């Protein structure tokens, strides 16, 4: 996989909390991409066999006051579970329905999802738009992994909106 850039976006680096998916682990392609942009990425290991332990870890990581929380698939559901109403949130194919998380997100949340996703239905992300003002759903990417150039570029573009 080719990373898009090795320079930080703008002048300010962000502290990002990245919550990985069920079959992923810390240090994956999206995290490497974010680090290549010059951002500090907090990327805890989330146990796949315990939702409650994962929620606890994610909640504890929120105490570090990240500038942005990014959650991918199961990590997206976790991000929705622990987000505050002031959290800058980017969700990547969030599996909220599978984990029974209420689809309420902060104003300005960005959702990236591939229409070709065969793991988490695109329709799940479109449901987040209901009763949530200011949410932007971006249909992008080749598949559920969302590690292709177009998906990573869209992720970079979403981050630009959070840089002061």
Residue pLDDT, tens place only, 60-115: 999 999 999 999 999 999 999 999 999 999 999 999 999 999 999 999 999 999 99
With 0-12 / 13-18 / 19 or more C-beta atoms within 10 angstroms meaning exposed / middle / buried, residue 85 is exposed
pLDDT of 44: 98
pLDDT over 80 at 139, yes or no? yes
pLDDT over 60 at 27, yes or no? yes
Closest CA to 28 of 1, 47, 4, 7: 1
pLDDT of 7: 45
pLDDT of 12: 79
Tens digits of residue pLDDT in 149-164: 999 999 999 999 888 6
pLDDT over 50 at 51, yes or no? yes
pLDDT of 87: 94
Query: Can you tell me the distance from the alpha carbon of 159 to that of 142, in angstroms, rounded to the nearest whole number?
Result: 20
CB 94 within 8 A of CB 110: no
In the sheet where 89-92 sits, what is the strand order?
A: 40-42, 15-19, 68-72, 89-92, 110-113, 136-139
Other residues' Cβ atoms within 10 Å of the Cβ of residue 88: 20
pLDDT over 80 at 45, yes or no? yes
Tens digits of residue pLDDT in 13-25: 999 999 999 999 8
């Amino acid at each position: 996989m080719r990373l898009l850039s090795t320079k930080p976006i703008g002048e300010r680096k962000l502290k990002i909390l990245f919550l990985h998916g069920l079959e992923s682990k810390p240090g994956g392609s999206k995290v490497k991409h974010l680090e290549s942009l010059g951002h500090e990425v907090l990327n805890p290991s989330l146990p796949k066999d315990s939702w409650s332990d994962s929620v606890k870890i994610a909640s504890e990581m929120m105490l570090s006051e990240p500038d942005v929380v990014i959650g991918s698939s199961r990590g997206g559901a976790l991000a929705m579970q622990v987000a505050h109403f002031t959290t800058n949130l980017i969700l990547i194919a969030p599996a909220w329905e599978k984990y029974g998380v209420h689809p309420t997100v902060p104003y300005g949340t960005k959702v990236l999802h591939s229409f070709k996703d065969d793991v988490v239905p695109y329709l799940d992300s479109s449901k987040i738009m209901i009763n949530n003002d200011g949410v932007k759903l971006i249909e992008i990417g080749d598949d559920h992994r969302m590690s292709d150039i177009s998906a990573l570029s869209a992720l970079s573009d979403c981050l630009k909106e959070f840089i002061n």
